[in-house]
């Protein structure tokens, strides 16, 4: 049943007509738990609240299915506004973004132009930018963009997904760039031809790449809500005498906030992934797909309305 629900919500996440409807009607039916409003001021308010709890933030201006240059440029403009707001208030925050929202599906020229604009602004305001990883069909393109930008900018990282067979090879290839990587299990529905279908295999590969990246001496963001992975990392860094300055934990806004505060209280860098914007639908569906408990929360919220 759990797998059926996951597949159902992942299917819905790619529905363009429903995405348009969601943009029109705003954050309803529980999405506000996972999305910090639709504007930069609302996002800034959330960042400040989290910073006061000793939680770092990575801010993501949500956007999917961008298929024209004008919209991609607009998305980049708004990302720059977010960077400027972070810099102005000296917030403990970074920026995350998807290449498709910057024009990846349009042309290399468009996506590179927008990314250079964003990274120049981020460098000016001392803000780090992470390029989110999307589905398998865009994996190589995203890595290629990252490599090109890394030659020009130090303030850029990307994401590697443990559920893909290609992941270890990708990390070996990227190691010469000394990359700052966010390591995740993966949240898209992929074919068993390209991704591990069984959770236990994904978990083992996740542990493998965490160890691999840390022992290579690279900064590592372990993005997980899984206590087993958190404990594995804690034991590994203790055994290998790895400094807390070389890694951080990351979790999603609205999920396990008590655990987030606990890890921060133990002296770990705990970064909360905070999405905002009106293009929240696809992101929200993937959060529902990840955990059945999220669905129960949303249903409870609807009943109370």
Selecting among 6, 182, 286, 287, the annotated active-site residue is 182
In contact, 61 and 97? CB cutoff 8 Å: yes
Phi and psi of 41, rounded to 5°? -60, -40
In contact, 24 and 206? CB cutoff 8 Å: no
Selecting among 6, 60, 105, 132, the annotated active-site residue is 132
Q: Of 254, 249, 248, which Cα lies nearest the Cα of 291?
A: 254
Residue 286 annotated to the active site: no
Residue 182 annotated to the active site: yes
Distance between CA atoms of residues 82 and 288, nearest Å:
26
Distance between CA atoms of residues 12 and 6, nearest Å:
10
Catalytic residues: 132, 182
């Amino acid at each position: 049943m759990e797998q059926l629900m996951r597949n159902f919500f992942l299917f819905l996440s790619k529905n363009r007509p429903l995405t348009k409807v969601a943009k029109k009607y705003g954050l309803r039916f529980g999405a506000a738990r996972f999305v910090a409003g639709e504007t930069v001021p609302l996002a800034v308010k959330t960042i400040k609240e989290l910073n006061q709890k000793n939680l770092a933030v990575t801010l993501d201006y949500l956007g999917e299915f961008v298929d024209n240059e004008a919209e991609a440029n607009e998305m980049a403009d708004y990302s720059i506004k977010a960077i400027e707001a972070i810099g102005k208030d000296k917030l403990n925050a970074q920026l995350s973004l998807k290449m498709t929202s910057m024009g990846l599906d349009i042309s290399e020229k468009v996506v590179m132009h927008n990314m250079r604009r964003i990274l120049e602004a981020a460098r000016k305001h001392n803000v780090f930018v992470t390029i989110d990883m999307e589905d398998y069909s865009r994996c190589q393109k995203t890595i290629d963009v990252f490599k090109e930008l890394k030659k020009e900018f130090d303030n850029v990282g990307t994401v590697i997904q443990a559920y893909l067979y290609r992941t270890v090879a990708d990390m070996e290839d990227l190691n010469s760039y000394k990359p700052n990587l966010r390591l995740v299990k993966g949240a898209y529905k992929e074919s068993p031809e390209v991704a591990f279908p069984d959770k236990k295999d994904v978990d083992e590969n996740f542990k493998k790449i965490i160890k691999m990246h840390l022992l290579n001496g690279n900064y590592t963001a372990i993005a997980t809500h899984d206590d087993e992975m958190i404990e594995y990392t804690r034991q590994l860094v203790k055994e290998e005498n790895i400094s807390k300055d070389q890694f951080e934990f990351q979790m999603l806004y609205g999920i396990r906030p008590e655990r987030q505060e606990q890890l921060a209280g133990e002296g770990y860098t705990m970064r909360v992934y905070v999405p905002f914007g009106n293009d929240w639908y696809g992101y929200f569906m993937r959060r529902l797909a990840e955990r059945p408990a999220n669905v129960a929360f949303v249903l409870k919220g609807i009943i109370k309305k």
